[in-house]
Amino acid sequence: MEPLLTAGYLLASYLIGGIPFGLFIGRAVGGIDVRTVGSGNIGATNVLRAAGKSAAILTLIADCVKGLLPVLIAARLFPGDVIVALSGAAAILGHNFPVFLGFKGGKGVATSFGVVLAVMPWTGLVCLLAWIAAAALWRYSSLSALVAFALYPVITFAMRSDSQAFSLLSLFVFGMIYVRHRENIKRLLAGTEPKIGQKR
């Protein structure tokens, strides 16, 4: 029964992560399908371009919570760190590759922040502050995410975490952020990446 419970919980974490809040909020607040605007992404940055600040803030919070909650609940339901870490990874995969949208989702920044805040609150806060500082300095959401999540495994390994599961999670999150930002990295290098709030 326990393997079925574990598998069911991880599937639920994936499905929660896959809820396309950016799409719903974009339609509700701005009457716009964000997939047809700007980058076509369902995350907060593209929602900002498509539907404005209020919609973007709501999307940011909702996407963060759907990473936070599965991890916090898993920590109460399951012993050890393995299922906790896997639930966070599942939520991120759900956001990035949601079954509800044909596996075409976002880049996982807000959802990843939610996961990190749940697993290592102080590390999550440091990463968040790094994102804010980078955004204020350079005005690129993508670059801010790359900087912030590069710190996550560095801090995790510097603290010599005794949890192998959480250490592997930090590498997974770092890798996923960079993989999902491949095109942004190309545009940053080419000088064509739009800044925060800038229309494409």
* pTM assigned to the model: 0.94
Q: What is the pLDDT of residue 199?
A: 64
Q: What is the pLDDT of residue 30?
A: 81
Give the Å distances, CA to CA, from 137 to 52, 61, 121, 147, 170. 22, 23, 24, 12, 25
Domain boundaries, the chain: 2-190
Contacts of 112 (CB under 8 A, 6+ apart): 67, 92, 149, 173, 176, 177
* Widest Cα–Cα separation across the chain: 54
Please give the single-letter amino acid code of residue 1.
M
Between 162 and 104, the higher pLDDT residue: 104
Give the model confidence (pLDDT) of 59-91 as tens digits: 999 999 999 999 999 999 999 899 999 999 999
Give the Å distances, CA to CA, from 42 to 8, 26, 35, 65, 67. 26, 9, 6, 16, 15
